[in-house]
Every structure is written in structure tokens, then in C-alpha cells.
Amino acid sequence: MGQQGAVAAVMVPGVRTILPLRALALCLCLVASAAGAQPEVGELQLKAAYLYRFASFVQWPERAFATSDSPFLIGVAGDDELADEARQVVAGRGIDGHPFEVRRVQRGDSLDDLHILFLGALDRSALAELLNSARSLALLTVSDSPHAVELGSMIRFVAARERLRFEVALAQVEPAGLRISARMLATAANVTGTP
């Protein structure tokens, strides 16, 4: 008999059941995966992790920190859920003596002490206003808006082959006095402009 018609007897006290081998293999896989199943990381968690990791691959000028132990501030505008998730990701962590903090940002708020600013679900005018306010600051701007780069964002999250990736617009980075490492640029889905 071929593989297609193969069956296996599964013995349960008092009951005899015959299952096709494929069904048995599927059941075993489901039980095994359920026993050691890890929840899939969602887009929200990935964005929060990226914001945290970007801090390790970007160099800020000395003027970006008031003191040697000033907090490293991540601002989030237009995505309260991401702000909450980022707060969890960075809890108890720091970089170069700077403890991480996450702050929700709204239109009209000062961006002066931020180091990373994520711009989420904002209308085009709010996005443009916040990016214009960030232009003269040592502030890494990140967004998932399709208009982000044309309006001045340095990094834009994109979906590529069912994965969350990012693009870098180097022409926006240099005027801010930031330096992005070659390692980070190598992992980007796309890099435009020149340093």
C-alpha cells in the first residue's frame, strides 16, 4: 500500500481508532507546537523594538544631551499603543548612561529634548508641522506614513515580503548632526541620498 493510504492504529484504553498517518503527524505537530508555542511578535512590538535598537546604531552630537545622565527620550505622536509598547520595551534600560524614557507627543509640543520621534497616524499637515519643527534638532525622525520621507522624515517603516523593514533618507540625517552606522544602513530595505 502507498503512502497515501497508510494508516496507524492509535491505542486508547478501551477504544481502538485508526487514523491516516498524515492526520496523526498533524496532531503530533499541533500538540508539540502548542506545548512550546511562542506568541508571534506583532507589528507593534517590532516597531517598539526598532525604536529601541535604533539608539544603538545612531550617534548623537554632544549637544543632544543636557548632562551626562540626561534621559534618552523617545517621543511618539499619533500612536498611543506604540508609546505604551515602547515604554515596556525600554523599561529599566539605558544607553551610555542615559536612561530611556518614552513620551507621548502632540502637535505644538516642544521637541527640543527628544532624541527619537516616531510619527504615526497623523494627517498630512500635522506630520509636516512636526517634521518641520524637528528639522534643526538632533532628532531622529521615524514614521510609517507613505508621505514621511518626502515631508522630511529620516526613517520610514515599510512592509517588505511580509516583514517589517525600514528605509533611510540620508539627505535628512546629515543636517541634524546625526550619524547612522554602516551596520544599520546595511540592514535597511532601502537607503536614499548621500551622507
pTM score, two decimals?
0.77
Mapping DSSP to helix (H, G, I), strand (E, B) and coil, where does residue 75 land? Answer: strand
Residues 98 and 22 in one domain: no
Residue 142 is part of a domain; what is its CATH number? 3.40.50.2300
Interacting residues of 95 by C-beta distance below 8 A, sequence separation 6+: 55, 56, 72
pLDDT tens column, 26-47:
333 333 333 343 345 688 999 9
Residues 18 and 101 in one domain: no
Number of folded domains that form the chain = 2
Report whether 103 contacts 117 (CB < 8 A).
Answer: no
The domain in which residue 14 lies consists of 3-35
- pLDDT of 5 over the 70 cut: no
Residues 90 and 62 in one domain: yes
pLDDT tens column, 138-195:
999 999 998 888 899 999 999 877 789 999 999 999 899 999 999 999 999 999 986 5
